[in-house]
């Protein structure tokens, strides 16, 4: 078991209260570490360090030099990829190969933003012949980053890397279920030579450290990834401080498959789209909307593949690891019970795999004949549980896909180009994919519409979150 402190001003420090909390391995339910329980006083210390760094060395670091530091950090992460992946797996349960992919994404994200650091530039504006008018893109200041447990370091980086590239400083509040990778990462921040106070990590609970971070008057922008319910609280608190909040929230994402689609491709995509990370992905395919002519074929072929998936502790690198925590396990089971009690048919799974007597394991579960207005079709389950709904017309498919609060991602499988374009435009989602699931990378923006969020991360759109425009007018 390991003991961990807060990272403030490039130093390890106890929480002011000396309180701690445990983090557990969800595969064994054993405590693996004890972590400092940061509260408002600790958040204040971290923000003061970030504010001082903002006014100090960091503000005098050129954009090219910031890029160089971020490239160095990416190289150090690459050197330590195995250890970071193991930390992630132990702390939140995902299979080792998926954790390694996550850290690969962290490296790419730092390199993308490192390269972009000296390309953040304003524009000149033709306001009149006798004046010069132009914009400066200035860093917004101290930024707060509140992170969920499902992609701990990966999601942290999605907002942190552009914030640093833009010249901001940061205070990170990792999820209480999976704080360890962010803490190991801090050592690499220091090793890379990033000045003290630029990156700070305050571990703790959301309603304590998280809320204090959002409300701190010296924090000028909040990047929040998590549930809709918490996002609403964060936005309300940010509004009181008149500060922007980027919200990356949940999803209930439709995979729509028409009769003319390449069924084998759709089925192949569905396996990972629905069951990677035990379905604990905001952009998981959690609703199959299937044309009635191919419904049986799709589900039959999918079942064959899903039955072959291995389940086990993430460290053994199975296909499916445990759910992150006892609380989330109970939540997933609650939805499975609701599905069983509904008019839907349980087609596959539906419980805990028999071979485990500990660990938060859940079988991959598929319900079909699901009523689109039922709870399991409307609410985010965030586990390896998928619902299947059938349709007979384009209009019905579009209506089912859009008729709920979420709007994160969606995909359509069809060989008909006109139909593909109609759905690309008509689906209410931040990303729409045609004949594939998960097209994108660090270069492509992500984010939701409706309850799925406000704002975009990744790509150049992600960088713009961390600069503010200043307009300069000169009359010579
Ligand atoms: P959560 O909302 O419970 O917690 C997220 C973070 O917010 C945690 O760090 C938590 O401590 C903190 N928090 C809790 N209460 C707070 C408060 N009052 N003020 C400030 N911070 C507070 O979410 P979770 O269960 O950790 O994550 C799962 C959710 O995240 C799912 O809904 C999933 O879809 C979503 N998610 C979205 C994306 C995306 O890109 N859209 C990516 C990953 C996860």
Q: Is 236 in the pocket of ligand 1 (CB under 6 A)?
A: no
Q: How far apart are CA 139 and CA 78, in angstroms?
A: 27
The answer to whether residues 259 and 392 touch, using CB atoms and an 8 Å cutoff, is no
Mean pLDDT of 85-90: 98
Q: Is 281 in the pocket of ligand 1 (CB under 6 A)?
A: no
Q: How far apart are CA 58 and CA 54, in angstroms?
A: 6
pLDDT band at 401 (very low <50, low <70, confident <90, very high): very high
Return the active site residues: 248, 282
Mean pLDDT of 395-409: 98
**Residue 1 confidence (pLDDT) above 90:** no
226 Cα–ligand 1 center, Å: 2
The predicted-structure confidence for 152-198, as pLDDT tens digits, reads as follows 999 999 999 999 999 999 999 999 999 999 999 999 999 999 999 99
pLDDT for res 10: 98
Q: How far is CA 147 from the centre of its chain?
A: 8
Say if pTM beats, i.e. exceeds, 0.95.
Answer: yes
Q: Is 323 in the pocket of ligand 1 (CB under 6 A)?
A: no
Q: Which of 37, 172, 206 maximizes ligand 1 atoms within 8 Å of its Cβ, making it the mutation to test the pocket?
A: 206
pLDDT for res 18: 98
pLDDT for res 350: 97
- Mean of the per-residue pLDDT values for the chain? 98
Q: How far apart are CA 260 and CA 45, in angstroms?
A: 59
* Whole-number Cα distances in Å, 347 to 299, 373, 387: 9, 19, 10
227 Cα–ligand 1 center, Å: 5
The predicted-structure confidence for 55-83, as pLDDT tens digits, reads as follows 999 999 999 999 999 999 999 999 999 99
Residue nearest to atom 11 of ligand 1 (CA): 206
pLDDT band at 356 (very low <50, low <70, confident <90, very high): very high
pLDDT band at 219 (very low <50, low <70, confident <90, very high): very high
Please state, as a whole number, how many other Cβ atoms lie within 10 Å of the Cβ of residue 388.
22
Q: What percent of the chain has pLDDT over 70?
A: 100
Q: Is the dihedral of CA 257, 260, 264, 269 positive or negative?
A: negative
Let me know the angle formed at the C-alpha of 197 by 191 and 199, rounded to the nearest 5 degrees.
65
Count of CA atoms in the C-beta half-sphere (13 A) of 338:
19
Which among 246, 210, 252, 291 is positioned nearest to 46, based on CA atoms? 210
Q: How far apart are CA 352 and CA 372, in angstroms?
A: 26
The predicted-structure confidence for 276-308, as pLDDT tens digits, reads as follows 999 999 999 999 999 999 999 999 999 999 999
Mean pLDDT of 320-340: 98
Q: How far apart are CA 396 and CA 391, in angstroms?
A: 6
The predicted-structure confidence for 16-54, as pLDDT tens digits, reads as follows 999 999 999 999 999 999 999 999 999 999 999 999 999
């Amino acid at each position: 078991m390991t003991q961990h402190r807060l990272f403030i001003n490039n130093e390890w420090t106890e929480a002011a209260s000396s309180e701690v909390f445990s983090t557990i391995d969800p595969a064994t339910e054993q405590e693996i570490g004890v972590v400092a329980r940061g509260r408002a006083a600790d958040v204040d210390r971290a923000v003061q360090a970030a504010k001082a760094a903002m006014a100090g060395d960091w503000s005098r670091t050129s954009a090219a030099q910031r890029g160089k530091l971020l490239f160095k950090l990416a190289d150090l992460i690459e050197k330590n990829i195995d250890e970071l992946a193991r930390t992630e797996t132990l702390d939140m349960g995902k299979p080792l190969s998926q954790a390694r992919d996550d850290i690969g994404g962290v490296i790419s994200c730092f390199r993308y933003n490192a390269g972009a650091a000296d390309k953040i530039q304003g524009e000149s504006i033709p306001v009149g012949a006798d004046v010069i008018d132009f914009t400066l893109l200035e860093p917004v200041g101290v930024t707060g980053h509140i992170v969920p447990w499902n992609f701990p370091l990966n999601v942290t980086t999605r907002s942190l890397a552009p914030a640093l590239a833009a010249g901001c400083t940061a205070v990170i509040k990792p999820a209480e279920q999976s704080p360890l990778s962010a803490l190991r990462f801090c050592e690499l921040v220091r090793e890379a030579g990033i000045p003290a106070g630029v990156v700070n990590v305050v571990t703790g609970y959301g309603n304590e450290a998280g809320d204090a971070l959002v409300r701190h008057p010296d924090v000028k922008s909040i990047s929040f990834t998590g549930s809709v319910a918490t996002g609403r609280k964060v936005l309300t608190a940010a509004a009181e401080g008149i500060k922007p909040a980027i919200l990356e929230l949940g999803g209930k994402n439709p995979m729509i498959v028409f009769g003319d689609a390449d069924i084998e491709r759709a089925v192949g995509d569905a396996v990972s789209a629905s069951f990677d990370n035990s379905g604990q992905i905001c952009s998981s395919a959690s609703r199959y909307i299937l044309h009635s002519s191919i419904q049986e074929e799709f589900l039959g072929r999918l079942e064959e593949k899903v039955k072959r998936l291995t389940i086990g502790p993430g460290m053994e690198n199975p296909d499916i690891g445990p759910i992150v925590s006892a609380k989330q396990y109970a939540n997933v089971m609650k939805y499975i019970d609701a599905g069983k009690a509904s008019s839907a048919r349980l087609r596959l799974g539906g419980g805990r795999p028999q071979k485990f007597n500990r660990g938060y394991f859940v079988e991959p579960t598929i319900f079909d004949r699901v009523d689109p207005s039922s709870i399991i079709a409307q609410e985010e389950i965030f586990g390896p549980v998928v619902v299947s709904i059938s349709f007979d017309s384009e209009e019905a498919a579009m209506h089912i896909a859009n008729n709920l609060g979420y709007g994160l991602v969606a995909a359509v499988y069809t060989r008909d180009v006109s139909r593909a374009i109609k759905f690309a435009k008509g689906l209410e989602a931040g990303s729409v994919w045609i004949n594939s699931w998960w097209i994108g990378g660090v270069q492509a923006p992500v984010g939701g519409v409706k309850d799925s969020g406000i704002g975009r991360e990744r790509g150049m759109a992600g960088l713009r979150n961390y600069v503010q425009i200043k307009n300069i007018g000169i009359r010579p």
